[in-house]
Amino acid sequence: MTATRKRDRILPVCVVVAAIIAIWYGFTVYLNAPWQLDVYEKAGRDWTITDLVRDTMAQDRPVLPAAHQVFQEIWATTVEKRITSKRSLIYHGWITLSATLLGFLFGTVLGIVLAVSIVYSTALDKSLMPWIITSQTIPILAIAPMVIVVLNAVGLSGVLPKALISTYLSFFPIVVGMVKGLRSPSAIELDLMRTYNASRFQTFWKLRWPRSIPFLFTSMKVAVAISLVGAIVGELPTGAVAGLGARLLAGSYYGQTIQIWSALLSAAALAAILVMLVGLAQTIVLRSMGQRPEGGTT
């Protein structure tokens, strides 16, 4: 029963992946062909379609690198490099990941604190929420350099400024989700607490908080992904010393498209893993809170 369900899920995913790779290779040939034809013309040599396809997939600085080039680059810069090496993707990935996780942690805590204040204070509900929404309308690319520069000026550098940019992005979905979650108890559930003469704290801790946990996890999945975006954006204006953002920037300085794409795919994979880990935590926690096994919300 579960085996067939698993197969039903894996097959469509494989088809989509295969289609993406096929389209990718198609575009590799198409986009890299003009430069390759130039090369052939300058060298004055004849070429066949086979030559063209093979050569467009083996350029040093292609417009669009072929999938296998990118995966070779990722393999070479992860498995075949020492982790301490400045060219190791794992080294750069860890730099970004540490800022992401720290920012995600700050963002989650900040988001929860803000949500609780909003739910428990009408004044804050009216005054805070517009600013929280406004904060997200400002493009992060415009704010990031200023945050980095200002924090550098007061002597803060390294992981913290980047983490703060992650925080700036990730607290938002947490606030929105948690405000909704903390307000989700039904009238009867609240009345029940009233009949027990429960204190505000007891109502919070024994009703509003557990009620909001499913909302928290859904928000955390969004938050952890944009936390990573924040950390990468935070690495761009620092002159790109280390991190996946630095690899992206350095790659674009030197026209190293393969390096850009490998950093890009690594970032995407990292985001996917982080979201999956939050999802796993969600399953474990909600299971322990009595959720029906088949009614999972993933």
Q: Report d(CA 275, CA 271) in Å as an integer.
A: 6
Distances (CA, A) of 79 to 17, 72, 244, 264: 23, 10, 16, 17
Nearest CA to 160 out of 174, 171, 172, 150 is that of: 150
Using rule CB under 8 A, residue 6 touches another protein: no
Q: Report d(CA 25, CA 67) in Å as an integer.
A: 7
Nearest CA to 264 out of 32, 103, 123, 65 is that of: 65
Among 48, 50, 122, 195, binds another protein (CB under 8 A): 195
Among 189, 252, 272, 276, binds another protein (CB under 8 A): 189
Using rule CB under 8 A, residue 296 touches another protein: no
Strand ranges in the chain using DSSP code E only, listed in sequence order: none
- The answer to whether the beta carbons of residues 219 and 176 sit under 8 Å apart is yes
Looking up tokens 């029940």 gives: 192
Using rule CB under 8 A, residue 290 touches another protein: yes
Q: Report d(CA 175, CA 170) in Å as an integer.
A: 9
Tokens matching residue 190: 């609240």
- Shorter beta-carbon distance to another protein: residue 152 or 298: 298
Q: Which span sits near another protein by CB under 8 A: 52-60, 98-106, 264-272, 289-297?
A: 289-297
- Shorter beta-carbon distance to another protein: residue 154 or 188: 188
Using rule CB under 8 A, residue 206 touches another protein: yes
Using rule CB under 8 A, residue 193 touches another protein: yes
Minimum Å gap between C-beta 191 and another protein is 6
Size of the site for another protein (CB under 8 A): 21
User: Which positions from 209 to 248 touch another protein by CB under 8 A, shown as an x/- string?
Assistant: -xx-x-----------------------------------
- Shorter beta-carbon distance to another protein: residue 65 or 214: 214
Nearest CA to 178 out of 220, 143, 206 is that of: 220
Using rule CB under 8 A, residue 204 touches another protein: no
Using rule CB under 8 A, residue 41 touches another protein: no
Q: Report d(CA 191, CA 97) in Å as an integer.
A: 45
Among 134, 197, 239, 253, binds another protein (CB under 8 A): 197
DSSP H helices, 44-88, are 49-56, 67-78
Q: Report d(CA 69, CA 206) in Å as an integer.
A: 54
- Shorter beta-carbon distance to another protein: residue 56 or 219: 219
Using rule CB under 8 A, residue 196 touches another protein: yes
Using rule CB under 8 A, residue 281 touches another protein: no
Using rule CB under 8 A, residue 87 touches another protein: no
Enclosing H/E stretch for 260: helix 257-288
Q: Which span sits near another protein by CB under 8 A: 56-64, 115-123, 126-134, 202-210?
A: 202-210
- Shorter beta-carbon distance to another protein: residue 207 or 223: 207
The pair phi, psi for residue 191, each rounded to 5°, is -60, -40
| Interacting residues toward another protein by CB under 8 A | 186, 188-189, 191-198, 202, 206-207, 210-211, 213, 289-292
